[in-house]
Amino acid sequence: WDNAKKYVEEGNFGGKHSEVHKATVVGDTVGDPFKDTSGPSLNILIKLMSMVAIVMAGLTVAWSLL
């Protein structure tokens, strides 16, 4: 959202004092804490999903050979 805010501040989509700029400021303000808190949990989720996929692939191969 920060890049969108900077893009609008450069004069695109109405510039600094437009409704679009207000929306990008709100998005940046709300999105920043979410980015900081969701990053570590998404990292754990991605690692867990890859481990489950590896285990399930092994079980699928083992059971398909029977």
Tell me the one-letter amino acid at 48.
L
Angle (nearest 5°) at CA 19 between 23 and 35: 10
In the Cβ-directed half-sphere of 63, how many Cα atoms lie within 13 Å?
Answer: 6
Per-residue pLDDT tens digits for 39-64: 888 999 999 999 999 999 999 999 98
pTM value?
0.54
8: which 2 tokens? 């609008």
Residues of the chain with pLDDT > 90: what percent? 48
Q: Please, which residues have CB within 8 angstroms of residue 4's CB and are 6 or more apart in sequence?
A: 24, 27, 28
Question: Do residues 18 and 8 make contact, with C-beta atoms less than 8 angstroms apart?
Answer: yes
User: CA–CA separation, 24 vs 43, rounded Å?
Assistant: 26
